A and B are shown apart, each in its own frame.
Chain A
Amino acid sequence: MDKAAFEPKIVAYCCWWCAYGAADLAGISKLTYPASVRIVRVPCSGRVDPLHVLSAFKAGAHGVIVAGCLKDGGCHYVDGNMKAEKRVKALKKALDSVGIGGDRLEMYFLSAGMPDKFVEYTTEFARRIERLGPVGLEMNRE
């Protein structure tokens, strides 16, 4: 496949309070970010189940973002974002060993008032996925 023509599909699980709000504000501020980023609303990044991440890849995603509130007290559900971070860390490893690659999953922290960060993170991530290209099946076995 021609790399230039590769249009990735990226699922962004956005927590309702912060990341979703930041995405909204990006729109309100008429800021643009890659259209490949497709937002799925969750109440809290702590709701994002490893199953959801894996299923997104199963359904054809080339990258998955989990976006939650800022660290250190930003989470509207106390520490759901920290739980999500822990899961994302473990999942990256899992994705490595099933040949998807942990680089295709990232967690970001932002507040509802950070549309610029939302744009920055999603743009940067989309670039990364474009670089990585389509999902292959290189087994990463020790």
Chain B
Amino acid sequence: MTVMATLSLSGDAGCHVILASLHEKLLGLLEPHELAFCQILKDSRDIPDHVDLTLVEGSVRTENDRERLREARARAKILVAIGSCACFGGIQSLCNFVDSQELMKETYGAAIAEAKSLGKNLPEVLPKNIPVREIVEVDFQIPGCPPEPDEVASCLGAILRGETPQLSQKNVCDECKKKRGGDFEAKIRRLTEKPSDLERCLLELGYICMGPATRAGCHAKCVAANVPCDGCRGPADLKYDQGVAMLDALIAADRETVSTYSVATMSAMYHRYSFATSVLAKLLERKDRR
């Protein structure tokens, strides 16, 4: 019997919604095992001392997140980061552009920002939003915002059987049904413009479609709905910087708008979920001035 736990850090609980949406499959996965801790789905106050498999959803934004994560890691044999917040820091990392002091000040007022937290009962907000991997060792990552239910089920199934789960090694374009013509429009198109040809590759039409730089496995659903991929599954090969790869390609394609808008604006286009892992984010952390 495998003892399991789930931990929610800073995120939107969408991964738990995905777990719940496994329905009968969830029961099947859980039935011979024990879900010892899952604050959202069952009454449980503490992570037990020994857990075989812990799923972590969300990124680390507060001191409390960090402590709970470290505790979870210490008690877990296998720790799996689930969802793009846990894997790459998620969408909230786009705030890493702004100093946390300033964020707190603008949100709650100067006095509170000074204290770094709203009061003694509340955890301190860390200077930035951090992916799980940068705090503790992660055994496996299931990316996606949200992750694909089938993928979650198959990965968990594999882990429970003691196997290494497999994710697609290809890019979203591999699963995309749109047709490519070979020429790219130099203009950057925004969503406010309807695609002139619904059969045609959105990147070629000028939309910033992250398909080329994003791991497949989602069946290119967004693009099938005529909306460009926004890269929620992160890069297919984790050693690459998803957004910079796309930035390069956009510069190459003479897409002038890339240099018209600030990086903060464009990061929401090509680094929407993986900004915290990007080299750009690391640059923000450089403070060699005293």
Which residues of A approach B to under 8 Å, CB–CB?
Answer: 1, 49-51, 54-55, 57-58, 60, 83, 86-87, 89-90, 93-100, 133-137, 139-142
Q: Given A50-B244, A89-B259: A98 and B289 within 8 A (CB)?
A: no
In the bound complex, what is the Cα–Cα distance between A96 and B251 (angstroms)?
A: 16
In the bound complex, what is the Cα–Cα distance between A1 and B287 (angstroms)?
A: 12
In the bound complex, what is the Cα–Cα distance between A94 and B247 (angstroms)?
A: 10
Q: Given A135-B286, A136-B287, A139-B97: A54 and B279 within 8 A (CB)?
A: yes
In the bound complex, what is the Cα–Cα distance between A93 and B284 (angstroms)?
A: 15
A134 with B284: CB separation less than 8 A? no
Neighbour of A58 across the interface among B262, B263, B283, CB < 8 A: B283
A16 to chain B, nearest CB (A): 21
Neighbour of A54 across the interface among B97, B98, B264, B280, CB < 8 A: B280
Closest A residue to B248 using CB positions: A50
Q: Which residues of A contact B248 (CB under 8 A)?
A: 49-51, 87
Interface centre among A51, A98, A135 (most CB of B within 10 A): A98
Q: Does B1 contact A (CB under 8 A)?
A: no
Neighbour of A57 across the interface among B245, B283, B290, CB < 8 A: B283
B241 to chain A, nearest CB (A): 6
Q: Which residues of B contact A83 (CB under 8 A)?
A: 252
Q: Does B35 contact A (CB under 8 A)?
A: no
In the bound complex, what is the Cα–Cα distance between A81 and B113 (angstroms)?
A: 48
Closest A residue to B244 using CB positions: A51
Q: Which residues of B contact A95 (CB under 8 A)?
A: 283
Q: Does B30 contact A (CB under 8 A)?
A: no
Q: Does B258 contact A (CB under 8 A)?
A: yes
Interface centre among B254, B263, B264, B282 (most CB of A within 10 A): B263
A50 with B251: CB separation less than 8 A? yes
B279 with A58: CB separation less than 8 A? yes
Q: Given A55-B279, A139-B97: A90 and B286 within 8 A (CB)?
A: no
Q: Does B163 contact A (CB under 8 A)?
A: no
A15 to chain B, nearest CB (A): 18
Q: Given A86-B251, A87-B248, A94-B247: A137 and B286 within 8 A (CB)?
A: yes
Which residues of B approach A to under 8 Å, CB–CB?
Answer: 97-99, 241, 244-245, 247-248, 251-252, 254, 258-259, 262-264, 279-280, 282-284, 286-290
Q: Given A90-B258, A141-B262: A136 and B289 within 8 A (CB)?
A: yes
In the bound complex, what is the Cα–Cα distance between A95 and B259 (angstroms)?
A: 11
Neighbour of B284 across the interface among A55, A86, A98, A142, CB < 8 A: A98
Which are the 7 A-B pairs with shortest beta-carbon distances? A97-B263, A97-B262, A134-B288, A54-B279, A90-B251, A90-B259, A136-B289
Closest B residue to A87 using CB positions: B251
B258 with A54: CB separation less than 8 A? no
In the bound complex, what is the Cα–Cα distance between A50 and B248 (angstroms)?
A: 7
Q: Which residues of B contact A60 (CB under 8 A)?
A: 286, 288
Neighbour of A98 across the interface among B247, B252, B258, B263, CB < 8 A: B263
Closest B residue to A92 using CB positions: B259
In the bound complex, what is the Cα–Cα distance between A50 and B262 (angstroms)?
A: 16
Neighbour of B289 across the interface among A1, A49, A140, CB < 8 A: A1
In the bound complex, what is the Cα–Cα distance between A107 and B245 (angstroms)?
A: 21
Q: Which residues of A contact B262 (CB under 8 A)?
A: 93, 96-97, 140-142
A93 with B286: CB separation less than 8 A? no
Q: Which residues of B contact A141 (CB under 8 A)?
A: 97, 262, 264
In the bound complex, what is the Cα–Cα distance between A90 and B244 (angstroms)?
A: 12
Q: Given A57-B283, A58-B282: A137 and B289 within 8 A (CB)?
A: yes
B283 with A93: CB separation less than 8 A? no
Q: Given A58-B282, A86-B251: A93 and B259 within 8 A (CB)?
A: yes
A47 to chain B, nearest CB (A): 12
